[in-house]
Amino acid sequence: MTKVPAAYTLIIGLGISGQAIARHLTRQGVPFMIADTREAPPGLDAFRDVYPDVEVVCGPLQALDMREAHEIVVSPGVDLRTQGLVEHLNAKGEGPYVVGEITLFVRACRAPIAAITGSNAKSTVTTLLGEMARESGRRVAVGGNLGTPALDLLTEVPDAELFVLELSSFQLETTAWLGAETVAFLNLCEDHLDRHGDMHGYQSAKRRIFRGARHAVVNADDAATWPDAQVDDVVRFTTRSPAGEDWGIDAHGGDAWLVHGASPIMSTRSVRMPGRHNHANALAALAMGTRLGLPLAAMRRVLERFSGLLHRSELVVERDGVRWINDSKGTNVGATLAAIEGVGPVLEGRLILLAGGDGKGADFMPLVEPLRRYAREAVVFGRDAQRLERVISRSVPVTRVADLEAAMRRAQAIADVGDAVLLSPACASLDQFPHYMARGDAFRQWLKQDGVAAC
């Protein structure tokens, strides 16, 4: 059995985060070794070129004696139930403390933190808040689960006045204390149950974002996002008329407006991102930005120009009165539900949903009722097409096809003026694509080849 020297920190996981942890410990002058459960993890040779003197142990963790390590830092991609690690965690406090990359970040960070989590839309809100801070003249660093690893931000933007972080449940489950100035828990739906065991485990990991927070933004329409820990200042957002000083949407001058309590902020028509779900994202960012002291005028300017992120309810083109929307990031039922509920109410016509792929065992029943209200047809493809068809055909006509291209041809054949074709698969892409970006790129490329210029 390989023994970890007592003076060493042990990093588990040689992925993007593991390498960021290695760079951080090197800058801190902390000796470390690294372990990975894979026999030949990608990037191993390049890592050894950079760190020729660092010991790397590959293979099952049971072959590693962790008891003498100074500390164990687990990458978010490593399941805490991994054999060899879980036994250490269950050893009733014996041996070194187990932390994650965000704990190391919090120790080193000297500026306020704004953190966002949720099953869906966290990348959009993180990016939006970062843009609002920049528009306000703040030196801001944006990253975490999105883009640049948090630890690398410390050197990339050493004079940052604010860190805006997207945090996943995998990152939060090893974070005992965040101490953020403001946090947002946007929504919770079934996802990552293979990692967390059940919805309670998934929610508990997400709720760690509240630990030490001075201000929290939660979803008034989703009680699963509310704190389980003491937070002195909690505000809520909703896509309905708000209660008290909540953030919401209300009638003003005959139009729908984003409002803070009774105070109108801006017309929803002025928000460039389409759909009610994106109006909710705007409200969450406004609530966080207000706490951070960002000027309202600057935040409004960003909302007027920010069109959203690629593959997230992205309007690719409008042709012959039909809008083609790329929401390939909709890899779970909750994300697709949000997209349908966001796009459907603002259409003059009907919705044509393109869905399918690897459903990861999810329950598709929540899609039935919104499809009944808004959809003309659902076109399904991929590994779980038959299961999708069996569930949603009770509320809307369904056509099952082999792949995304065939789904798009079918949508083109049936779409009418005022309709929207929405790629929001409710499934992972790995049965037919390397990742959701490739699926979204295929959607965009097909429209380009069909002679349609992208918006």
- Our answer to whether residue 311 is catalytic in this structure is no
CA–CA distance, 368 with 101 (Å, rounded to integer): 40
CA distance 207 to 379: 36
Exactly one of 122, 277, 329, 360 is catalytic; name it. Answer: 122
Let me know if 192 is a catalytic residue: yes
- Pick from 338, 358, 331, 266: which is nearest to 305 by CA? 266
Q: Which residue is catalytic, options 192, 206, 260, 329? A: 192
The catalytic residue among 24, 88, 120, 145 is 145
Kindly state the DSSP code that residue 179 receives in the 8-state scheme.
-
213 vs 153, 183, 208, 452, CA distance in Å?
Answer: 21, 7, 10, 47
| Contact assessment for residue 143 and residue 77, using Cβ atoms and an 8 Å cutoff | no
**Residue 3 and residue 419: Cα distance in Å, rounded?**
63
- Grouping H, G, I as helix, E, B as strand and the rest as coil, residue 214 is coil
Active site residue 122: yes
Torsions phi, psi for 218 (to 5 deg): -130, 165
Q: Is 390 helix (H, G, I), strand (E, B) or coil?
A: helix
DSSP 6: T
Question: Of 346, 329, 334, 289, which Cα lies nearest the Cα of 424?
Answer: 329
Angle between helices 101-108 and 16-28 (to 10 degrees): 40
Hey, is 235 helix, strand or coil? strand
219: exposed, middle or buried (Cβ count in 10 Å: 0-12, 13-18, 19+) = buried
Phi then psi dihedrals of residue 416, to 5 deg = -125, 165
Cβ neighbours of residue 192 closer than 8 Å, sequence gap 6 or more:
169, 170, 202
User: Assign residue 121 a region: left if phi > 0, alpha if psi is -120 to 50, beta otherwise?
Assistant: left
Enumerate the active-site residues: 122, 145, 192
